[in-house]
């Protein structure tokens, strides 16, 4: 496949953006994390007057062969059942997307179910679920590259239709286990990412279930080792929805879009994307910190601060949707808030 080409945002406007932020009618830094967020969005869009156009959430769904081995508290059928719930408009992401006025697309990246042609569903199925990575690589290199490329195409299509802000979500029983393996491999033990510390309860495992999950993931590592490249780790332990998300993140960055990063699983896709092309990180804003213990490790490793901490652990892109009003607020204060000069307000002590 064609390599991802991501141009880092130019820094020529950095000083002017900071001056504009600092001259608003407020004490320096008084709007907290909204200020660096506004600065980032200005750099991403290369303008002093950024705007959010047609914000969109894309939810990628895929099944994992390892789910049948017991890494999740839920049966694999829940993946396709939840996709049906998305299409019927009944899931949390549907509720929040409607509330925020955000476009929503659901992508079948590799669900073990035949949905047929459906409104609101993009059929990008690579295969009906990955292989069981405890016994063999989750996907072939060809499948991985197809997933990355399809994700890129989905992001490019959104950009070509006028979207410049996209958030990603996921659905796939067993995908917190996959995310734990990806995090363990790409973050590394030297960054406090030993397997146990990044493996949580996922969909609600009890103590015995969590122990079994950790044991199964340890078996997977004995078989597949700890690949350090983003492409290799996706092939060994990824899900089709995670690989396609990684491709979509890279594709969105190629198009200069702002990317809203959701929780633990979405951030694992970003780790893989960053390992493929590190320039993607400059385009990413982090919505929240989830309850999954590995998510804190990921965020610390990336040296980023999320906008919210609401104890979410749902996935689906719900955190990205909930963060959008904060992103809009950052744009609005930069564009609409008076400066000391325009308001005739003294800034002298």
pLDDT of residue 269: 98
Model pLDDT, residue 345 = 84
pLDDT at 349: 54
Q: What is the predicted pLDDT for the residue at 192?
A: 67
Q: What is the pLDDT of residue 187?
A: 94
Please state, in angstroms and rounded to a whole number, the distance separating the CA atoms of residues 117 and 108. 11
Question: What gap in Å lies between CA 247 and CA 241, rounded to an integer?
Answer: 10
- Residue 201: its pLDDT value, please? 84
pLDDT in tens, 278-301: 999 999 999 999 999 999 999 999
| pLDDT at 202 (0 to 100) | 77
**pLDDT at residue number 268:** 98
The DSSP call for residue 171 is E
Which of 190, 241, 316, 341 is the catalytic position? 316
pLDDT of residue 189: 59
Domains of the chain are 56-332 (3.40.50.10210)
The pair of three-digit structure tokens given for residue 36, joined into one six-digit string: 């660096």
Cβ atoms of 164 and 158 closer than 8 Å: no
Let me know: does 207 contact 96? Beta carbons within 8 Å. no
Task: Cite the DSSP H helix spans in the chain.
Answer: 14-22, 34-45, 77-88, 92-100, 141-160, 175-187, 207-224, 230-237, 240-254, 264-276, 293-302, 318-336, 340-343
Start-to-end CA span in the chain (Å): 59
Q: What pLDDT score was predicted for residue 209?
A: 81
Does the annotation mark 84 as catalytic? no
Q: What is the pTM of this model?
A: 0.95
Per-residue pLDDT tens digits of the chain, which is 349 residues long:
899 999 999 999 999 999 999 999 999 999 999 999 999 999 999 999 999 999 999 999 999 999 988 778 788 999 999 999 999 999 999 999 999 999 999 999 999 999 999 999 999 999 999 999 999 999 999 999 999 999 999 999 999 999 999 999 999 999 999 999 999 999 975 676 788 889 888 777 888 888 888 898 999 999 999 999 999 999 999 999 999 999 999 999 999 999 999 999 999 999 999 999 999 999 999 999 999 999 999 999 999 999 999 999 999 999 999 999 999 999 999 999 999 988 888 777 5
């Amino acid at each position: 496949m064609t390599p991802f080409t991501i141009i880092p945002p130019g820094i020529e406007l950095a000083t002017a953006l900071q001056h504009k932020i600092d001259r608003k009618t407020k004490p320096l830094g008084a709007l907290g994390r909204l200020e660096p967020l506004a600065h980032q969005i200005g750099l991403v869009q290369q303008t002093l007057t950024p705007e959010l156009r047609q914000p969109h959430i894309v939810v990628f769904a895929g099944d994992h062969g390892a789910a049948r081995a017991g890494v999740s508290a839920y049966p694999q059928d829940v993946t396709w059942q939840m996709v049906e719930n998305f299409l019927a408009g009944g899931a949390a992401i549907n509720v929040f997307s409607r509330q925020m006025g955000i476009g929503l697309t659901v992508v079948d990246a590799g669900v073990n179910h035949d949905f047929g042609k459906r409104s609101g569903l993009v059929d990008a199925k690579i295969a009906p679920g990955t292989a069981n990575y405890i016994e063999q690589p989750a996907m072939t290199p060809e499948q991985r590259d197809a997933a990355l490329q399809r994700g890129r195409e989905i992001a490019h299509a959104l950009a070509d239709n006028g979207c410049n802000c996209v958030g990603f979500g996921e659905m796939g029983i067993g995908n917190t286990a996959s995310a734990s393996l990806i995090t363990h491999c790409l973050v590394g033990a030297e960054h406090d990412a030993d397997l146990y510390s990044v493996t949580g309860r996922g969909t609600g495992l009890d103590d015995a279930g969590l122990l079994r999950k950790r044991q199964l993931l340890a078996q997977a590592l004995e078989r597949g080792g700890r690949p350090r490249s983003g492409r290799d780790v996706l092939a060994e332990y990824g899900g089709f929805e995670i690989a396609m998300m990684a491709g979509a993140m890279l594709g969105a960055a190629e198009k200069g879009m702002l990317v809203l990063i959701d929780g633990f699983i979405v951030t694992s896709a970003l780790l893989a994307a960053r390992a493929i092309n590190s320039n993607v990180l400059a385009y990413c804003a982090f919505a929240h910190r989830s309850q999954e213990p590995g998510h804190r490790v990921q965020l610390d490793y990336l040296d980023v601060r999320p906008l919210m901490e609401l104890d979410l652990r749902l996935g689906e892109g719900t955190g990205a949707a909930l963060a959008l009003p904060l992103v809009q607020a950052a744009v609005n204060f930069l564009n609409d808030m008076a400066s000391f000069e325009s308001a005739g307000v003294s800034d002298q002590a």
